[in-house]
């Protein structure tokens, strides 16, 4: 079973690791889709600390991650779902970007993909925005 996750994964922290390990437990292969720099800027209204290439390199070093791909450069976030055909898509507890039409797109592609929302890991402490605030 293939599990797919999406995210920015900038300033990798314990919450990210917990999320990725939890997602991996849902299947045999974990594929991580890393948001493009321009997608991050569009959604978060700021540049990521690490470039998309740096974030990909960091994620590829994690034992629980089997494959890392960059998101679609044209913001077609659903294209990777159609290509990979995952059995499971794991979402973060607070992940909202591009999730509103996710079930609809899965159905449109003729897939039987299960969507699972994972629980937070110490959300008050391990959240990128909070870490960035402390670092500023």
| pLDDT digits 0-9 by tens, 76-115 | 889 999 999 999 999 999 898 889 999 999 999 999 999 9
pLDDT at 116 over 90: yes
Cross-strand bridge partners of residue 2: 29
What the block records as the tokens of 48 is: 């990521």
CA distance linking residue 63 with residue 21, whole number of Å: 9
Give the active site residue among 46, 83, 119, 125: 46
Q: Does residue 105 carry a catalytic annotation?
A: no
Task: State whether residue 16 is helix, strand or coil.
Answer: helix
- The pLDDT of 55-74, averaged and rounded, is 95
CB proximity list for 109: less than 8 A, separation 6 or greater: 78, 81, 82, 85
Determine what percent of the chain is predicted with pLDDT higher than 90: 73
Give the active site residue among 24, 25, 41, 44: 44
Contact 102, 113 (CB under 8 A): no
Q: What is the pTM of this model?
A: 0.88
Q: Does residue 130 carry a catalytic annotation?
A: no
Q: What is the pLDDT of residues 41-59, one digit of tens each?
A: 988 899 999 999 999 999 9
Looking at residue 72, the DSSP 8-state letter turns out to be: P
């Amino acid at each position: 079973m293939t599990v797919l996750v999406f995210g920015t994964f900038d300033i990798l922290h314990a919450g990210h690791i917990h999320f990725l390990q939890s997602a991996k437990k849902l299947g045999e292969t974990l594929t991580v889709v890393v948001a493009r720099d321009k997608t991050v800027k569009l959604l978060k209204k700021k540049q990521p600390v690490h470039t998309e290439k740096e974030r990909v390199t960091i994620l590829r070093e994690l034992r629980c991650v089997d494959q890392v791909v960059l998101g679609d450069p044209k913001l077609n976030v659903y294209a990777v779902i159609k290509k990979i055909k995952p059995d499971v898509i794991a979402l973060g507890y607070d992940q909202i970007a591009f999730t509103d039409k996710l079930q609809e797109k899965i159905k449109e592609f003729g897939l039987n993909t299960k969507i699972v929302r994972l629980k937070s890991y110490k959300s008050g402490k391990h959240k990128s925005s909070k870490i960035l605030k402390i670092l500023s």
